[in-house]
Structure 1
Amino acid sequence: MEFIYELLEKEVGKLLSKIKVCENLEEKAELIGKKNLAEHSIRLLKKCDENGVGAGSIFTKLPRKVCDSPSSDYRIIEDLETDDNKYWTEVNIEGKRLGNVRLGEGDVVIEL
């Protein structure tokens, strides 16, 4: 992955050089947009790399909620090896402000 990071960083450097000498506002705006896109791509790739997200990962977009209430959401639970939901427990995630993750329709779950 280092090769790709270096490639993108070099491109950012080239774009910065072009931005510095560019006098046409439209062209400068386009160059800045490309630079921002390359920087965004670097951050996104690093986040994927840090979390083990790869080309083989499965992305699942959550469906529309059945309940139309704004306070209804999806939760991550551990089923404790039973189909009886009275024994299920919500997963506590370290570092989260409320200790858990609340998901909404359209959120994406990534299976590594």
Structure 2
Amino acid sequence: MTSVLDPAIAARLKRTADGLVPAIVQQHDTGEVLMLGWMDDEALQRTLTTGRATYWSRSRQEYWIKGDTSGHVQWVKDVRLDCDGDTLLVKVDQVGAACHTGDRTCFDADGLLADG
């Protein structure tokens, strides 16, 4: 499945040398930050057209749709591009855990500041 990203959107993206853009994933109604994934043009196009969050796996070198294996689906509610064009904000309705560890969010670890 190969689809073409809208040229107007593609022109706004500032990609890494690998052609990727980081995607911060946030629960749409609470603002909870869930995870960070990576998207290329194809993953972004699939996300925009299917309503399911699709990412590029840097380790496996393949696309993956959040929830296809775990059942922890991300239903996409909104996608925004930051002011520099180098980061996406993907607002989702997260079903189950977002993190591969089984935690709701990948950012549950202890704070790095002494008071954090």
Instruction: Note whether the superposition's TM-score is higher than 0.5.
Output: no
Q: Computing the radius of gyration over CA atoms, which structure comes out larger, 1 or 2?
A: 1
Q: Shorter-chain TM-score category?
A: under 0.3
Task: Specify which structure has the higher proportion of helix.
Answer: 1
Give the structure with the higher percent strand: 2
TM-score by length of 1: 0.25
